Amino acid sequence: MSGFNTTLLLAVLAMALRTGLFYAGIRVAPFDFIPLHLLLIVLAVYFSGHFLLRQDASRGFGELLRTGFQSVFAYAFLISVFSWFFYRHIDAAAFTTYNAKLVQGFVEQGFPVEDARQKVGALYNATSYAALTFFGSFLVGSINAFAFAALHHKVLRRFRK
């Protein structure tokens, strides 16, 4: 198994879990699923370096970093495309419920209903959530890629000899 295959497996696991929870009737708000994605990003980056060093223990920091970035990009891209599809076609009412609560809060503060609906609807929808998911996941994953590349290069490589 390679790090890229592990990343694909983790992304499919996240997608299956999200879809399974929805069809099981367990409602999870869009932003409440983020901690799971963060955990899976950490695992994807770790295993990408682990499998690279398992193939060839002489790989350098740059190669460890590159494989971490590749894993992060693949995970972030797959999850963001899935998120867009999921909230656009499967759970289309998720943002409607979330936005209704936000609009109610703005109306209580004295904003006009139509202006609040328009601004909240433009900000919280499937497309913006998918974009936030991609860029947020890639940013966090990039930081993890640097950290794990250094960890594999300086510390964990010693245990492979």
> Taking Cα atoms as reference points, which of 1, 132, 4 lies closest to residue 68?
4
Query: Can you give the pTM of this predicted structure?
Result: 0.87
DSSP state of 52: H
Mean pLDDT on 54-71: 90
* Of 37-51, 55-69, 133-147, the least confident: 55-69
pLDDT per residue over 1-35, tens digit each? Answer: 678 899 999 999 999 999 999 999 998 877 788 89
Do 91 and 24 contact (CB within 8 A), yes or no? no
- 17/38 Cα distance (integer angstroms): 15
pLDDT per residue over 104-154, tens digit each? Answer: 888 888 888 888 888 888 888 889 989 999 999 999 999 999 999 998 888
The residue that leads in pLDDT, 159 or 39, is 39
- Split at pLDDT 50, 70, 90, the class of 160 is low
> Taking Cα atoms as reference points, which of 62, 101, 85 lies closest to residue 133?
85
